[in-house]
Structures are given as structure tokens and as C-alpha cells.
Amino acid sequence: MPALPPHPAHDDLRRRWAATVAAATGRTPDASSPAPDRYADELLRRWTEPQRRYHTTDHLAAVLDRVDALAEYADDVHLVRLAAWFHDAVYLPQRSTNEERSARLAERTLTELGVDRERTEEVSRLVLLTRDHTARDDDANGTVLCDADLAILASPADAYARYAAAVREEYGFVPDDVYRAGRSDVLRRLLGLPRLFRTPYGQRHWEGASRRNMAGELERLQRA
């Protein structure tokens, strides 16, 4: 197995993973338990694949941080954290089945780690929600994960520009005119939603900035 590329957050992420698995299973790993670090490293290898420019370890860490910020709104924040680990674990920009494959990976991994069936199915459901980020208002876990994943849209202007450029790099195989049309459709769909964020925190802190950033990007794409 190839060595995991170095990243300053990897040690912290391993600790966070082990703590989350322990909370989700209700037990501390012992000699008879699968070693959680092995699964963490496999996931981190996926998050450092060379085709990624935005959907990287940095994105994983950022989503986990935002889940922590929104923890009070979740029914079971440990399951939301697990879903964050898996939500882009399978990521090939040219394919449309990434979320489905990520959900299956979650089901297989969590079963091996001893997470019970009900909790495993909830993590899988949450991963699938990130296809279109349309969690219902009464879906506490879903709204936390979707808000955490979309919070990048509320970044300061320079960070948003880097995000948009990184997404374009991931789709470098797509011609400019085709990319502009597809990206514009995504932005219009998001801007057409009555609300981007469902948690009170997200609505207060991220809604306005996200809409301004996306409207600005859409205008630039249209000018191009």
C-alpha cells in the first residue's frame, strides 16, 4: 500500500476519527477491535488523490470544523461527523455516481468497525443527501451536514475565488464553454433556492455572503 502523503492535519484527523468511531460504536477500541487508524489512513489516501483540487483533505477538515460549530443542531453529531468523512471519499469528477459509491464505502467500513445497522444506514443516508443538499427542515442531522458542506460559499472574496478556481481545475477535462454553461446552471439552481442554509447559525452567518459570492461568480461567467 503506498505511503500516505504528508499533511499537517493528518495526525489531528486520525485522533478525531478514532474519537468519532468510539462514540458511534459506544466502546473504546481494544485488541479485538479493528484498528481505527487503518481505516482513517485509507480514507485519507482517498482524500489526497491526485485528481482532487478542491475536494481534498483541507475540505474534509473544514467540513468537520463546521459540523463542530453546528453540533447543537444535530440529533447525533457523531453520525454527522462520520458522514462528513465519507461524503466525498469517492470522488472522480467525470462520474455522476460518487455519492452512491461513497455511501456504499461507508456501509462496508462502518459495518466492519462494529457500528450498528441503524447508525450505519443513517450515515449512508446523510452521504447521499450531499448529491443536491436538499435536507428537509425537520432533518436535523441532514441540515447540519448540508450546511457544513455548503459553508465554503460564504468565504471571503479571495478564498471564494480560490475555491472556484480549484473546482474549475478538477474539471480541467471539460472545455471552457461547456464548463461555463454547467457551472452557471449549478449557481442558478442554488441561487433559486428559497434558503441555502437550514440551521439558524447558517442562515445568520452564511446565507447573505454565499448569495453575494455566487451572484458575482455567475456574472463573471456570463461576461466570459
Q: Is the pLDDT of residue 34 over 70?
A: no
For position 31, what pLDDT does the model report?
Answer: 47
Torsion over CA: 65, 71, 73, 75 (sign): positive
Confidence of residue 41 (pLDDT cuts 50, 70, 90): very high
Q: What's the start-to-end Cα distance of the chain, in Å?
A: 44
Query: In the numeric block, which cell numbers belong to residue 171?
Result: 474539471
Average pLDDT of the chain to the nearest whole number: 94
Cα–Cα nearest to 130, from 215, 180, 67 = 67
pLDDT digits (tens, 9 = 90+) for 123-137: 999 999 999 998 999
Q: All 3 cell numbers of residue 173?
A: 477535462
As a whole-number percent, the residues of the chain with pLDDT over 70 amount to: 95
Which tens digit of pLDDT belongs to each residue from 49-58?
Answer: 999 999 999 9
Q: Would you state the pLDDT for residue 113?
A: 94
Amino acid identity, position 148: A
Using 50, 70 and 90 to split pLDDT, how confident is the model at 35? low
